[in-house]
Structure 1
Amino acid sequence: MIELLHVPSLLTIQDSGRKGYRKLGVPVSGYMDDYSARIANYLVGNLGKAPLLEFFLSGPTLRFNTSAVFAVAGNVDVSLNGVPIEPWGSYWAKRGDILEVGTLRSGLYGYIAFAGGIKCEKLLGSCSTYAKANLGRPLKAGDKINLSYAILSGKEGRELPKELRPDYSGKEVTVSVLLGPDLDHFTRKGVETFLSEVYTITPNSDRMGYRLDGKTIEHSEKGAGIVTSPLVPGTVQVPANGKPIVMMKDAQTTGGYARIGVVISAHLSILAQLRPGFKVRFRKVSVREAREELLRKEKTLRAIKLFLEGKMNAYKVRAGEEEKVIFVG
């Protein structure tokens, strides 16, 4: 069991999401940055979909009431009993130890994983918090959280090399989109604007959706309204004001604004880590390219998992002016 002593910002339990209930109006929810969250789980020997703690900007202070192996994912200061330790590594904590997680230096979301995962009651097949429907709730100081049983030996001492850690320090990123399905609600100029202009993340953004500011996207004579239609995380709606909204993990399942595109699933975690004031551009890709990008992401995560388990070696090599990491089994 762990006990939360200080919770300075939004802290929730999340897993890989609530699948199969969108037809009933229930959002998927789950990790905002599934890439970082899955690595956090791999660091402590869990499956990538295991429930863990997701914190927004600033992490909690907690006390271990039992022995545990944990890992913190994020560019953040971490200390155990007042002694600084590195994030992106797994550590053994004993009963009475205090873990303090600071404020992220880059990105918006960080993760704390525990060997065995968090023991929680699944609601509609998931432990993910979706507070608007009372599917879980944000955590607060004084809460006690049970951890699932796990054999701890061999789980501590894993470390993700710096070259493999996701970098969310960039203040402008480009994400790929599939155009449509409501392109007839936009002029050619409107679509060109969407693909050529830079948009800014506004403070009025959350787990439900990221509202963007920038050059207005022009609608056709059909206007911004459509018959209420399905939405998925990544869908880009454009309401009457011409400013795009990107649906995120807690997004509603249907909407009545024209959809100009969908951010590919492989890039949604990159977008999720952009802070208000940061910039984003959209690049058109084909369905084949989107699938290839997702396959590359999954292959990389699988290689990282095997590397952390000691089943694969990683090497840093130089290709021209760029450095990259390759894995050798």
Structure 2
Amino acid sequence: MSRWEVLSPGLQTTVQDQGRTGWRHLGVARAGALDPSALALANRLVGNAESCAGLEIVLQGPRLRLPRPSLIALVGARVQASWNDLPLPMGRPIHLPSGELKLGAVRDGARAWLAMTGGMDVAPVLGSRSTDLRGGFGGHEGRALRAGDLLPAGSSAGAATQPRFPAWWIDPDDPWTADRHVLRYVPLHHAAASALGTQRWRVHPNSNRQGLRLDGTPLEAQDGSGVSEPVAVGTLQLPPDGQPILLLADAQTVGGYPRLGHVIACDLGRAAQLRPGESVHFEPIDLRQARALSLGHQHRLARLRLAMAQRL
């Protein structure tokens, strides 16, 4: 096993996998990649199981020193990536010699995911290697990366003197190349649930992995009972100020704010790509439409898996 050295950490780089499941009844958040499908595809490209841990990169990536040759893949929003100043592409397996991997600004979105052969081999906590930033556990010391960290990064790849990668690449076409400014949701029986979709909202700078805070004309926030109710990743809450919150992977398990509805699971990857200040529109749909969209999303992923299996 090699240890990658963090030369600079980027804005918020964390170790993530498919998330921590089976513990919500004890108040433990799911955590995991904000777009699990993107990380799963990156893992496929380097020959890993989809459950392996990688790095989630937000807006500005890290600089990493690789002591041994490695096989990596980048999936998600476009990243200015280079090895020893040689540009690297997205969406394909890349054989790298030892040297410096620089991941710069994230373009056309907010997040990208880096996978490496063997995965990021940090110790699992409650069955997952994901970083829970609110809980302060999992991943690498329960926090975002810092300069000087040494990361146990799976296994090394075959010898190489220059980066090598194929001419083909994957183009999932959803969500990072789709219209991330439209999120579809199933409304609940709250008076303001339908009003959510009548205006455009802006992403508040205080948004984080726990929730996407929205800024717009306030919705009428009726007094709730204040009794906490279950919430999930994708739940839309309405605080007293009338500015909705879309819960993301680090969300709590219960909440006292009224619930407006739920963004469908296959659109949460789009939500992960929204940058502070960007606009977003919520489109109401029914359960039948939600199921059809979910099946279509799974169909696209299945086709990609088959295509990669033929190439790799």
TM-score > 0.5, shorter chain as reference: yes
Contact in 2 for aligned 1:171/1:278 (Cα 8 Å): no
- Aligned-residue RMSD, C-alpha: 2.2
Larger radius of gyration: 1
Q: Identify the residue that residue 20 of structure 1 maps to in structure 2.
A: 22
| Bigger mean CA offset, 158-167 vs 50-59 | 158-167
Q: Identify the residue that residue 229 of structure 1 maps to in structure 2.
A: 229
Change in 2 beyond 3 A, CA 1:123/1:170: same
Change in 2 beyond 3 A, CA 1:76/1:166: farther
Matched residue SS, 2:181: strand
Contact in 2 for aligned 1:115/1:152 (Cα 8 Å): no
Tell me, in whole angstroms, the C-alpha distance in 1 between the residues paired with 2:24 and 2:289.
26
Letter in 2 for 1:281: H
Residues 1-329 of structure 1 correspond to what in structure 2 (within 5 A)?
1=2, 2-73=4-75, 74-95=77-98, 97-135=99-137, 136-149=142-155, 157-158=165-166, 161=169, 163-166=171-174, 168=176, 173-180=181-188, 183=189, 186-187=190-191, 190-220=192-222, 223-310=223-310
Percent identity over paired residues: 32
Contact in 2 for aligned 1:8/1:59 (Cα 8 Å): yes
Contact in 2 for aligned 1:175/1:281 (Cα 8 Å): yes
Tell me, in whole angstroms, the C-alpha distance in 2 between the residues paired with 1:130 and 1:67.
30
Tell me, in whole angstroms, the C-alpha distance in 2 between the residues paired with 1:242 and 1:206.
19
How far residue 160 of structure 1 moved from its aligned partner, in angstroms, is: 5.7
Change in 2 beyond 3 A, CA 1:196/1:260: same
Matched residue SS, 1:63: strand
Contact in 1 for aligned 2:92/2:170 (Cα 8 Å): no
How many residues align? The count is 301
Unaligned runs of 5+ in 2: none
Change in 2 beyond 3 A, CA 1:160/1:7: farther
TM-score, length of structure 1 as denominator length: 0.85
How far residue 150 of structure 1 moved from its aligned partner, in angstroms, is: 7.1
Change in 2 beyond 3 A, CA 1:69/1:211: same
Contact in 2 for aligned 1:41/1:47 (Cα 8 Å): yes
Contact in 1 for aligned 2:20/2:31 (Cα 8 Å): yes
How far residue 29 of structure 1 moved from its aligned partner, in angstroms, is: 0.6
Contact in 1 for aligned 2:172/2:300 (Cα 8 Å): no
Letter in 2 for 1:88: G
Unaligned runs of 5+ in 1: 313-329
Runs of 4+ in 1 over 6 A off after TM superposition: 169-172
TM-score, length of structure 2 as denominator length: 0.89
How far residue 172 of structure 1 moved from its aligned partner, in angstroms, is: 6.4
How far residue 292 of structure 1 moved from its aligned partner, in angstroms, is: 2.0
